[in-house]
Structure 1
């Protein structure tokens, strides 16, 4: 691999202007295609084959006229103090507000509270449903603005008015303050690492170009496949972080070669061959891990993985082509490696061991104690994961500054917590000779179940073989008691089948959420097992060792459990929620564990390759296992540290997002990288390698003969004559 990348690096040096112009042309072409076709997001997060999805199919088939086809906006009203919704003045305000809504030609119908009886028992809270002629995701911004205006008009008259329903008003934003904060911190880390403002800016610029190419490609694909809007933010989060890191590794190696006396051309070619090989391997690992999400069998998770993989692929191509080209254009303005005084003081060796920095000497002095501390720390942080609960964030987990959250609270106050997560039950008596009697028996049986607030009368379909009813639980949609009720309904269905040939099918957003969460919980061990097996194969191929891959996988498992434990501790249990701006504690995002597993695997392998490949390179030259670990920490440790800090900064910046999904992912990924980079890769792995000494590099000879050599360290460059005549020429 190194020889091919060496030739690529040399070619980009000679054709640097063409490479830059070529990438700009690619960006323009993709941008024009996106402008021409537009973008069409689809936020459907259902899973085919789940009980709730099958029930939804029956609902659409047998109750096509009663099913909601248009998007809905729910206007929720609360009367002033001392008044009720029945008060003449309040009634006039509500009627006047709804009359304004009828002026929108996109509105199909309006269900008024005084006609439908959707008013609380104390008559303080009520709601009206506005149904549109189109689906929720197709309701125009103009219609949304009109609803906001009439709600504001009612508020101006002293009536609290909030919005809810299937039409979203708080949308996910990409390219806002979160990304800006991450980029600023990344620039600061790069400036400190390179001790050069120009050198610090180049990785930022190239990563933004790669990110732009990736995101534009994802936007283009929305016209041909179902892509969720959250996928875009996830792609930005990962693409920006790895893009800066990959550019950092190549530029850092280039400056090291300049310091050794190589010409700019030779230095760029060698940096592309050595650091570029590690970048390609790391990038391909991340891409495979993201695409591997497809084995879970969840369509929306597959789409998220593919969208992120496209972006990583774009920044990977940028790293091995545009980065060398930009460095070539910068020429002598990129100085050889030099460090600031604080950095040098920490990283310099002592008189006895110049190849070790302070951190390496500390680990070498106390390897057993350090390894034990890492294991105990992992156990403590991972412990909360034992009571992990999964779900989908609803309006009740949004900030109180949003109208959706205030509307959610008003509905719970007026009608009970369960009104925000009603269950839709379909009674199937198609196999019964007396359908009406079966329905009556079914209603009696349902009345015996716990945690039910209300049950609507059954509404039969045209054939009379099916009946539809709504059940309102006493508890909220993410409450464990609501989950128990869904399971109780399905268990009751088994009894009714035997006794009355009556089947109960449960659906609705709450049931769908429960089914998705359980499906993903079942898939996590399988996916993690595949990832672990894949990691072992890859690392055996790269490091030609048995022990090193086992340690790397062990470290990955420790990182994963610690990350999930920390996420449960903050997001679910609510500890330090205020510090991280978490508006409301609740279950973890149901696809977070699987997604975090795939992403952290790729990123963990990044740092493993960049650090341990340098250790292996030193070991192959000296045969001294202890010295090779210390040398690797001294030479690659600072770069891995900077890369880790950059990635943490980028992920942490998304904690400031107002969207709960993005906030929780940013928090989990920032902690995951922090733990993996500094506790596992920079601490535990070196300590274990020092303890095991040469045993770390044991590799059976028969296996060595049959496994191909991918040459990530660029050993072939030292054994072949590749432009060595340029080495000290200028």
Structure 2
């Protein structure tokens, strides 16, 4: 590889204009590709097959009206006064206009809804009062019927008594008739008996008529009783329904759309797409339509479910980072040309990488932070990789090398290390695909593409530009000193490692103990790591998301910022049954940290019933996270199924859990990869072990710093943390991949110098000092540049970008200055010759990658023709190796 890069560097130097023109053409093509194929970036982080995703898919199939996403628009008065009725009358039609936006299904007018809710409450109370009146009337009717029944019984008794008298009279007549017949005086007694018989018959007929009337009255009374009981049954059914409705209203009492003081209102929008599929165009149009209320004194703000926008590719903070990097380069290299060259190549590289990645956003769903991460990393490594080659080239020029010769050798030595270092970053980033998380794998792939472009530009465009600037890469003073040395026979440039002295063992032990202890202390907060996605409270205080979040928290309660959608699967289509809904709602309401429950509706077949659940705290709180877990383990009333939970809050919780589960596996892969790569480079077992342990310390220290600032809120005012909360859920995984690659970069550029010095015959401990002294300046400058570039993103406007920028900047700071430049040299010193021990059988198996380019230098020794003295000086300064005495 070193020989190939040597020839590539010389070819690029000879065809400099063509190489530069080719890269400019590639940049232009990337711009054209972006203009043609660029699409919209998404702000939603989704992972297939999570519980939230499964519930959402089920709703889309069986209950489409509940599957659509939602958005929040908060209206509030500027002075905290009540929104008047006149203002409400103007705001309502203005809100209704948002339904004309493509993708918006509807909007819930808070003023109309609260009025309807008040009417429903009043109607319910009136209905309950009427039911009580009806019950009283029914009881009165029952009493009247009972009185009538008693009167009928008295009448029946009187009739029975009268009939008994008539029957006795009939018996007397019959007896008299028999006596008259027996006495032979029947004819004489017949008229009187007939008259008496007529009276009895008339009395019986009258009694029969009265009996018939009495039975009719009795039938009428029973009919009235039956009708009354039917009315009572209907009344009780109405009472039951009203009581159930009252229970639902009671459970939803805390779900308000207009604040109690009337100064704020929440308008909820419903979208045709699911929460994670709402397009940015739809959100932007909604904010345009509802951004300026037509009422003086009333302002609107948008929740994070609408206002989360694509972060800026380059902002003020990022520009400041580049400026700081330029200053560092200027101080180190001493010339504007030298300082500008690495920045120019890095900008071309990130331009190609970012535009190339964005050109695929029209066909690939890409998270908005993806190109920013690629730009962040591509810019940092692009500057550093070019700097390594430029610095080597400058050193060789000052040792008397010809420009073209120096370019080829710098590309074959430092360029070889750049390719190998870049390869470690590429492997770590591409390894993100093994997590099985699509958006994270794509993020790693795009970042890897940007790094690959940076590497290719470093080993092609950098040599070309160095050829074009020629000796001007050195300052006027340096060129004058070089000419003076060339004109003075026997003059020799001082060796950069001549003054190196091994550290003392006591100093080495102190460095290890103090350095490791400091990193462990810094890493302690990582034990309290909680993962999540930023909500509105994490945004800058002047953002619309923050204002909406704070207004909702103050006027409606924190839980309104993170409502959950609970979906119950019930048997026999019972979802439409009000009693079933009440039973499930009461079950949900009885759980800890639930302040309100409201039914959303049921599917057409009644198999699914959905509820809005308002937690006690916000979407990123521990209690809400625990509530989601508890609800999913809760059995549905009278059913074998459990609740499905969906919504933005549960989606964030699921994504965070999936990322947390994937992190240990990815970390193990990266650690194992680190061991193999470093063993291959340094042909040692000890060096890979301490380098990998150092990386682990750097990772957890960086994570501890993130937790302390962004989760605990330490120094929040300095870093713009308005409200501490969980750490960005994919940050630890991204940090592993990127920090690993960068840590290996610094290990290579310091460790290979130590290895080279040892291989050239220096004692082990002296080789440590010589390698450290030779590489510390460039590694220091490279680390400061990376810290500056990453640090520029700490003050970005996006809540997602800020912690990533801090984690990378702080991670590089810790790894470069504490691990690589403090701990590693001390540990190498303590190990002595044992640091380079490798079993013979393993030495035979491992290929010799010659990262430091020692063999290349022996194949292409420097020969100064015009100025022999200068040649001698150059060879002395360059420490040209003789036969290698150690492997």
With the length of structure 2 as denominator, give the TM-score of the two structures. 0.76
> What's 1:25 paired with?
25
CA contact (8 A) 1:427 1:439 kept: no
The residue aligned with 1:125 is: 264
1:434 Cα offset (Å)? 9.4
1:202 aligned counterpart, secondary structure: helix
How many angstroms does 1:48 deviate by?
Answer: 1.4
Aligned runs of 1:393-542 on 2, under 5 Å? 393-430=534-571, 441-457=583-599, 459-493=601-635, 496=636, 500-542=639-681
Shift of 1:398: 0.9
Distance 1:280 1:142, change over 3 A: closer
The aligned residue for residue 301 of structure 2 is 162
Deviation readout 1:117-175 (Å, 9 max, x if unpaired): 22233433212235567863243687356335523x43xx1124322263336541112
Retained in 2: the 8 A contact 1:256–1:337? no
Match of 1:317 among 456, 468, 487: 456
Change (3 A) 1:521 1:146: closer
Name the SS of the counterpart of 1:503 in structure 2.
coil
Contact conserved, 1:612 with 1:632, CA < 8 A, in 2? yes
Deviations for 1:400-422, whole angstroms, at most 9, x for unmatched residues?
20111111111122221111111
Residue 300 of structure 2: SS of its match in structure 1? strand
SS at match of 1:450: coil
- Find the residue that maps to 1:471 and give its secondary structure: strand
Alignment check: 8 A CA contact 1:256 1:336 kept: no
Let me know the Cα RMSD of the aligned residues: 2.7
- Report the structure number with the largest CA radius of gyration: 2
- CA shift, 1:368, in A, is 0.4
Distance 1:165 1:294 in 2: 28
Secondary structure at the aligned position of 2:39 is classed as coil
**Structure 1 or 2: more helix by fraction:** 2
Q: Is the CA contact (8 Å cut-off) linking 2:575 and 2:607 kept in structure 1?
A: no
Q: Shift of the alpha carbon at 1:109? A: 3.5
Residue deviations 1:683-711, cap 9 Å, x none? 10000101111110001111111111111
User: 1:316-363 CA deviation, whole Å, 9 max, x = no partner?
Assistant: 1000000000001111212289899xxxxxxxxxx9996345xx7667
Give SS of 2:259's match.
coil
Q: Which residue of 1 aligns with 2:777?
A: 638
**Relative to 1, partners in 2 of residues 1:283 and 1:136: Cα closer, same or farther, differing over 3 Å?**
same
- Would the aligned equivalents of 2:540 and 2:720 in 1 still touch at CA under 8 Å? no
CA distance in 2, matches of 1:353, 1:197: 24
Residues of 1 paired with 2:78 and 2:690: CA distance? 64
Q: Deviation digits for residues 413-433 of structure 1, max 9, x if unmatched?
A: 222111111111111125899
Identify if the C-alpha distance between structure 1 residues 267 and 583 changes in structure 2 by more than 3 Å, giving closer, same or farther.
Answer: same
Distance 1:433 1:141 in 2: 37
Q: Which residue of 1 aligns with 2:82?
A: 84
How much does 1:18 deviate?
A: 1.1
Contact 1:483–1:514 (8 Å) recurs in 2 = yes
Displacement of 1:99: 6.2
Contact 2:37 2:360 in 1 (8 A): no
1:192 pairs with 318, 331, 350, which one?
331
Cα offset, 1:501, TM superposition: 1.9
CA-CA distance at 1:393 after TM superposition: 0.1
Deviations 1:100-121 (A, max 9, x none): 6577688654321122222233
Partner of 2:722: 583
- Which of 278, 292, 309 is the equivalent residue of 1:136? 278
Choose 539-548 or 91-100, whichever is displaced more.
91-100
Q: Distance in 1 between matches of 2:746 and 2:805?
A: 19
Please list, as runs of the form range in 1=range in 2, the aligned pairs for 1:549-698 lying within 5 A after superposition: 549-698=688-837
Change (3 A) 1:603 1:352: closer
C-alpha distance in structure 2 between counterparts of 1:132 and 1:159, whole Å:
25
SS at match of 2:40: coil
Identify the residue that residue 111 of structure 2 maps to in structure 1.
114
2:498 is aligned to: 355
Are residues 143 and 721 of structure 1, via their aligned partners in 2, closer, same or farther at CA, if it must alter by over 3 Å? closer
Distance 2:329 2:777 in 1: 11
Shift of 1:456: 1.1
* CA shift in 2, pair 1:727/1:663, >3 Å: farther
Deviation at 1:635, TM superposition (A): 1.1
Query: Is 1:374 the equivalent of 2:529?
Result: no
Over 3 Å counting, the alpha-carbon distance change for 1:128 and 1:692 in structure 2 is same
Pick the aligned partner of 2:362 from 223, 243, 259.
Answer: 223
1:191-224 deviation digits (Å, cap 9, x = unpaired): 1111122111111111111111111111112133
CA pair 470-612 structure 1, distance change in 2 beyond 3 A: same
- Residue correspondence of structure 1 range 217-366 to structure 2 within 5 A: 217-335=356-474, 355-356=498-499, 366=507
Cα deviation, residue 585, structure 1: 1.1
Report 1:8-47 matches (<5 A): 8-47=8-47
What is aligned with 2:72? 74
Q: Structure 1: which 5+ residue stretches go unaligned?
A: 341-350
3-state SS of the aligned residue for 2:410? helix
CA contact (8 A) 1:367 1:691 kept: yes
Once the two structures are superposed, what CA deviation does each residue of 1:7-61 show, in whole Å capped at 9, x if it has no partner? Answer: 1111111111111111111111221122122323233311112211111111111
1:162 and 1:486, CA in 2 relative to 1: closer, same or farther beyond 3 A?
same
* Gap change, CA 1:74 and 1:652, over 3 Å in 2: same
Q: State the secondary structure of the residue aligned to 1:702.
A: helix
SS of structure 1 residue aligned to 2:359: helix
* Cα distance change, pair 650–51 in 1 and its aligned pair in 2 (3 A): same
Query: 1:726 & 1:549 partners in 2: Cα distance?
Result: 43
Instruction: Tell me: CA distance 1:412–1:726, structure 2 relative to 1, closer, same or farther (3 Å).
Output: farther
- Summarize the Cα distance change of 1:222–1:452 in structure 2 as closer, same or farther, 3 Å threshold: same
Segment of structure 1 superposing worse, 91-100 or 222-231: 91-100
2:175 maps to 1:175:
no
Indicate conservation of the 8 Å contact 1:423/1:507, yes or no: yes
Residues 262 and 726 of structure 1 are in contact (CA less than 8 Å); yes or no, is this contact kept in structure 2?
no
- Give, in whole Å, the separation in 1 of the partners of 2:505 and 2:475: 30
- Kindly indicate whether the alpha-carbon contact (under 8 Å) linking 1:132 and 1:139 is maintained by their aligned counterparts in 2: no
The answer to whether the Cα contact below 8 Å between 1:370 and 1:683 also exists between their aligned partners in 2 is: yes
**In 2 relative to 1, CA 37–150 (structure 1 residues): closer, same or farther, beyond 3 Å?**
same
Residues 202 and 165 of structure 1: is their aligned pair in 2 closer, same or farther, counting only changes over 3 Å? Answer: closer
Counterpart-to-counterpart distance in 1, 2:587 and 2:711 = 35
**Worse-superposed segment, 318-327 or 618-627:** 618-627
Q: Which range moves more in the overlay, 681-690 or 427-436?
A: 427-436
Query: Quick check: 1:255–1:337 contact (8 Å CA) kept in 2?
Result: no
Q: Structure 2: where are the runs of 5+ without partners? A: 115-256, 480-493, 872-887
On the 8 A contact 2:46/2:651 being kept in 1, the answer is yes
When the two structures are superposed, what TM-score results if normalisation uses the length of structure 1? 0.92
Q: Is the 8 A contact 2:96 2:107 kept in 1?
A: no
> Does the 8 A contact of 1:174 with 1:232 survive in 2?
yes
> 2-side partners of 1:434 and 1:649: how far apart?
59
